[in-house]
Amino acid sequence: MTDTDFLEGQIILLDKPLDWTSFQAVNKLKYKLKSEFNLPKKFKIGHAGTLDPRATGLLIICTGKFTKIIPEIQDAPKEYFTELKIGVQTESYDTEKPEILQQDISNITEVKIKETLNKFLGEIDQKPPIFSAIKIEGNRAYDLARAGKEVEMKSRKTTINYIKDIEIELPFVRFTVGCSKGTYIRSLAHDIGQDLKVGAYLTNLRRTKIGDYSIENASSKFLENEFRFENFGKIDGVN
């Protein structure tokens, strides 16, 4: 693979590690590319869909002319492996913040959990977490929240296409969820807990698919010397 290949356009599938932001992953890969290939200073590169730092899994990075199709990839449906813990909450809806508001879950049954999960299938109204990258009057919501300021998040429409492979091992519930773009699985976990009236938060999130792209074809070695750019090729039909 040559510098021309990356300038013309490549789509690279990465398995983002825990606690890396999507921005950090792009910058790390950009540095690696520039150190190994003769690329211009303003080399085009970007990701097609943010993953939270506490999430792992599929992160699609486009280079060169393929950055034009980033919006198309972002519009594709997503799939996630999800684990939530019921009977307790966190302010961030995930493991970033400590547990609060513990509740008794002795009356929570598998039947009740599955009935609740079914309620979230189809189009739903969802409020994004206050600890999110959504901009409010020019400021990131998470910056406002971390500064202790009151943040009002507006509801938005999103679609849960399916919830499958449900495993219940209280207080943990695991499942695979397919959803439309813009869905916050952290909010889904929180809302499931609210419906159960005992609270819940996201303990594990791994993105496994974006459209036709799968985590099975992604590299987890992009921070190491084993990462080989020749594993990735162009997609036909993109100019």
pLDDT digit string, tens, across residues 67-126:
999 999 999 999 999 999 999 999 889 998 899 999 999 999 999 999 999 999 999 999
Q: Which of 3, 5, 52, 236 is catalytic?
A: 52
Among 66-80, 154-168, 190-204, 218-232, the least confident range: 218-232
Task: Give me the pLDDT at residue 3, please.
Answer: 76
CA atoms within 13 A on the CB side of 110: 5
Give me the pLDDT at residue 142, please. 67
Q: Which residues of 19-40 are buried (b: 16+ CB within 10 A; e: fewer)?
A: ebebeebbeebbebbbeebebe
Q: Which of 151, 200, 156, 154 is nearest to 179 (CA)?
A: 156
Higher local confidence (pLDDT), 239 or 214: 214
In this predicted structure, what is the pLDDT of residue 138?
67
Q: What's the pLDDT score for residue 223? A: 53
Residue 165 a catalytic site member: no
